[in-house]
Structure 1
Amino acid sequence: MATAVETLGKLERRITISFPLTEVRAEVEKRLKVQAKTAKAPGFRPGKVPLKMVAAQYGYQIETEVLNDKVGRAFNDAANEAQLRVAGYPNIEPKQESPAGVLAFDATFEIYPEVVIGDLTTVEIETVKADVSDAEIDKTIDILRKQRVHFHTKGEAGEHGDGGEPVAANGDRVTVDFVGSIDGVEFPGGKAEGYAFVLGEGRMLPEFEAATVGLKVGEAKTFPLAFPEDYHGKDVAGKTASFTITLQKLEWAHLPEVDAEFAKSLGVADGDVAKMRDDIKVNLEREVAGRVKARNKEAVMDTLVKTATLDVPKSLVAQDTERLAEMTRQDMAQRGMNVKDVPFPPELFAEKAERRVRLGLILSQLVGENNLQAQPEQVKAQIEDFAQSYEDPREVLKYYYSDRRRLAEVEALVLEENVVNYVLGLSKTSSKAIAFDELMGSNAQA
């Protein structure tokens, strides 16, 4: 039996569950007899083990299972009878004082809150938009050319020229020997032979690159280098070293011409440069559309968080905090990092978890009240949109529809989009054009 529901706080409740000890003992004995039919023990045939031996081996486990079953069933029945929506899992503890022959437990739990969403017709939301111009296409082509760069010895004539005067300059790939010392003593990591890098890419500290510029093969130079206070090498951070570098090899960068061969290297079979530019534009527009959608979704989610009023169940936040920590651990492990024994303090994820739970409750309320669930045709359209950038769209459809979890991920995306469109349709919206580079440099996430 269960007592009336006690209110401990805004969302916290308690129910006391109790039942006769005789019921537990009867159920334990019943399960022990079932277990005895298949129990094994040295010197006994299967099923012939004495009940006392079975009880000694399995009694604690079975008694725990019986208690869990009875308490869980009683709690669910009581919560359903009281028409409570339980958030998370109840914390069940034995009651300290109970009548003789009675087992009693206190189940403390939280319920889902009332979600009050403000008047969305009065809120103002600024959305963004961005265009893809020829300048963005040209920048992308330059990036693609740099990805296909090849180097030639500077000063030596070849089919692409000699690269100009054989003096190190930005854009050149240099190979150097170097040695560094602090107060006349070499330090770990301050010496290398045959070290190659491209001048101007920022891989080396500014003083190092500046000293390399202007050198010819075989020339050496000694210069001071001040390590930043926040330098990753703690032994040298904030100190000034003396470096000597010797240029061993100098190469200039040859970028491929934007011609038919270049277009073919990008998958344009006939080498049509105009078609290549069109393909790049389509891909950029798809990327821009995705980022614009993400930025506008973030604006809507921010508005909903500010507009809605609700108390967030701590139990759900705790669960999501653990989930985020585990996701981070798995992600770091996949990147080759050993994080098996590294502690992940909950406070690192608590704020994000609280926002995720809050948004989840708000979205659930909006979807339920306004029938914004993802429809099958919407899900299919979304998957088909994903498939456009793949060689065989049918394989993409098969990939999603063959796995319920993958399909659920798409359904969640469509549901969020339905909410975004619904909110934008009610609110006062304004649109702001932003630069392509600003948009591509952002990484909005709800």
Structure 2
Amino acid sequence: MAVNVETLEKLERRITLTLPASTINGEVETRLKKLARTVKADGFRPGKVPMSVVAQRYGYSVQYEVVNDRVGQAFAEATNEAKLRVAGAPRITQKDEAPEGALAFDATFEVYPEVKIGDLAAAEIERVSTEVTEAAIDRTVEILRKQRRTFAQRPAAEGAEEGDRVTIDFDGKIDGEPFAGGKAEAFQFLIGEGQMLEQFDKAVRGMKVGESKTFPLQFPADYHGQDVAGKEADFLVTMKKIERQDLPAVDDAFAKSLGIADGTVEALRADVKKNLEREVKFRVQARNKAAVMDALSKAAELDLPNALIASELQRLVEQARADLKQRGVKDAESVDLPEDIFKPQAERRVRLGLVVSELVRGNNLQAKPEQLQAHIEEMSQSYEKPAEVMRWYLSDRQRMAEVEAVVIENNVTAFVLAQAKVTDKVLPFDELMASQ
């Protein structure tokens, strides 16, 4: 049977669904009879409740269910017959006018757009790469040393130095008045590790236990505490305790303490390099993938289904609420989160999702089983028990779907880079690791 599809605007369509009233009534009667076998009512034995009572109590809800089911079925059959790809759920409204002995409904909905991807050979993309240097390995080993450092109290005659852990009392005032967060007792921090503002850090250097000192401090204009940002304070600091840090030597014993099987410094450095290379690979992939997605977005022409944007907006708002709740924000469920702030992100995600799907479908870029396996194996290597991590991924369909999405994006990235005008850039290790 031919389906009449009315085009309303861009991606919006409407079709009319007509259902025989006799079919609806027959289905309602069948369901009520089945319900009557188990329904309970005062004054009647189970299964002996009169149909008139059952119909009076449940007739409306059963009819609502039947109409919903039948309309849903008719909509699926009609859109399948018309070969339409429906985006989102339809909006169903009953028509006042209908053929005799029938019910008529209008189904208004959106369809997936036609995606036109321009000439990818004209796309200009910067592809970055990064090398794990010996200096990067040195810094990582130094971090491992600091994670295992110990502290010992300095002799009273010695002043505080770079790397010392100091315990102080401080009292800050602005124009002679105390301010929030400006006072503390037995406050502890490490000199020279960026835990305090540079002026504060420098002021305590050289101080000895029992010594007090007053100094001015200029808060930066972009300081996170808005009440004091850009203002000058006077601080009184009293040194209570100074502890010298002792770092372990980088030797075979240190390597063994980190669980290195060979127990040698060479093996430790090789392990550090392997882990850094894995992290660098993922970061480089993410950066190049973002560049490819930007190029794809610019090269594609398509209309965006409002239904998909609305669905993505809802997902982003729910995700934001979950993040707030995880951070301990009180009443995260009721925090006002205007959808407008998420709309650009929602539109971008929907746009890229449609473009990537079109590219995957047209160029056979689906994730292959061996690619999924290799990706999971690679991710698992950064954990203590890789085999358990692999089982954790493989045992859950949702987690595997997330892995599949990443692999597909990697395939798309490789496909686009092979065609585009690519400029290669070597990114310093520190710059890559500092980027988000």
Query: What is the TM-score of this pair, normalised by structure 1?
Result: 0.89
Change (3 A) 1:114 1:270: closer
Task: Tell me by how many angstroms 1:170 deviates.
Answer: 3.5
Residue of 357, 362, 367 corresponding to 2:355:
362
Task: Tell me by how many angstroms 1:434 deviates.
Answer: 1.1
SS, match of residue 161 in structure 2: coil
- What does 1:40-119 correspond to in 2, within 5 Å? 40-96=40-96, 102-119=102-119
Asked if the contact 2:3–2:81 (Cα under 8 Å) also holds between the matched residues in 1, the reply is: no
Residue of 331, 356, 370 corresponding to 2:323:
331
Task: Tell me the equivalent position of 1:352.
Answer: 345
Asked if the contact 1:169–1:214 (Cα under 8 Å) also holds between the matched residues in 2, the reply is: yes
Q: Deviations over 1:181-231 (max 9, x none)?
A: 455454454332211112233333444334323322111123344555665
1:394 aligns with 2:376: no
Task: Tell me by how many angstroms 1:324 deviates.
Answer: 1.9
CA distance in 2, matches of 1:310, 1:231: 44
Task: Tell me by how many angstroms 1:43 deviates.
Answer: 3.0
Task: Tell me by how many angstroms 1:109 deviates.
Answer: 0.9
- What does 1:13-24 correspond to in 2, within 5 Å? 13-24=13-24
Asked if the contact 1:129–1:432 (Cα under 8 Å) also holds between the matched residues in 2, the reply is: yes
SS, match of residue 151 in structure 2: strand
CA distance in 1, matches of 2:287, 2:136: 20
Unaligned runs of 5+ in 1: 157-164
1:204 aligns with 2:196: yes
Change (3 A) 1:62 1:384: same
Task: Tell me the equivalent position of 1:244.
Answer: 236
SS, match of residue 74 in structure 1: helix
CA distance in 1, matches of 2:295, 2:379: 28
Task: Tell me the equivalent position of 1:379.
Answer: 372
- What does 1:39-438 correspond to in 2, within 5 Å? 39-96=39-96, 102-155=102-155, 166-182=158-174, 184-227=176-219, 233=225, 236=228, 240-338=232-330, 339-438=332-431
SS, match of residue 116 in structure 2: coil
Task: Tell me the equivalent position of 1:162.
Answer: none
Q: Deviations over 1:1-41 (max 9, x none)?
A: 99721111111111222334454333323211211111112
The amino acid that maps onto 1:419 is V
CA distance in 1, matches of 2:434, 2:229: 30
Task: Tell me by how many angstroms 1:126 deviates.
Answer: 2.2
Unaligned runs of 5+ in 2: none
Asked if the contact 1:168–1:213 (Cα under 8 Å) also holds between the matched residues in 2, the reply is: yes
Change (3 A) 1:234 1:300: closer
- Further displaced range: 73-82 or 176-185: 176-185
CA distance in 1, matches of 2:14, 2:346: 25
CA distance in 1, matches of 2:24, 2:314: 34
SS, match of residue 271 in structure 1: coil
The amino acid that maps onto 2:246 is H
Change (3 A) 1:436 1:186: closer
- Further displaced range: 286-295 or 236-245: 236-245
The amino acid that maps onto 1:306 is K
The amino acid that maps onto 1:105 is F
Change (3 A) 1:121 1:169: same
Task: Tell me by how many angstroms 1:269 deviates.
Answer: 4.0
Q: Deviations over 1:126-146 (max 9, x none)?
A: 211111111111111122222
Sequence identity percentage: 57
In angstroms, what is the RMSD of aligned CA positions? Answer: 2.5
SS, match of residue 8 in structure 1: strand
- The count of corresponding residues between Structure 1 and Structure 2 is 435
Task: Tell me by how many angstroms 1:284 deviates.
Answer: 0.9
1:6 aligns with 2:9: no
The amino acid that maps onto 1:272 is T
Asked if the contact 1:2–1:16 (Cα under 8 Å) also holds between the matched residues in 2, the reply is: no
CA distance in 2, matches of 1:336, 1:90: 38
Asked if the contact 1:2–1:17 (Cα under 8 Å) also holds between the matched residues in 2, the reply is: no
Change (3 A) 1:440 1:109: same
CA distance in 2, matches of 1:44, 1:201: 81
